[in-house]
């Protein structure tokens, strides 16, 4: 799949907990268009430094393996969807 969405989170992170249902909805709505990878920063400590993640939640959009968009913190589903949609061609 050409477009991936990386969700860096932790179970103890308040904003991450708030965003979980939003990300789950996006995963259902955009199934077949994007691949959403949920990365627990505690369970996978190598991924955060690899992508330069300094705080969570952090969301990274990859197109063809390259980072094209990054945003940090809780936000609306519409904002996330519009950021992803611009890379779906």
Catalytic residue among 13, 26, 80, 84: 13
Active site residue 13: yes
Active site residue 7: no
Catalytic residue among 3, 16, 30, 53: 16
Under 8 Å between Cβ of 60 and 6: yes
Please provide residue 30's backbone torsions phi and psi, each rounded to the nearest 5 degrees: -110, 15
Under 8 Å between Cβ of 53 and 41: yes
Please provide residue 16's backbone torsions phi and psi, each rounded to the nearest 5 degrees: -65, -40
Residues noted as catalytic: 13, 16
């Amino acid at each position: 799949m050409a477009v991936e969405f990386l969700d860096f989170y932790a179970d103890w992170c308040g904003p991450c907990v708030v965003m979980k249902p939003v990300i789950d909805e996006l995963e259902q709505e955009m199934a077949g268009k994007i691949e959403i990878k949920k990365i627990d920063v505690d369970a996978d400590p190598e991924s955060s430094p690899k992508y330069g993640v300094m705080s969570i939640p952090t969301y990274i959009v990859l197109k063809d393996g390259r980072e094209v968009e990054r945003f940090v913190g809780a936000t609306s589903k519409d904002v996330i969807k519009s950021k992803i949609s611009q890379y779906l061609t």
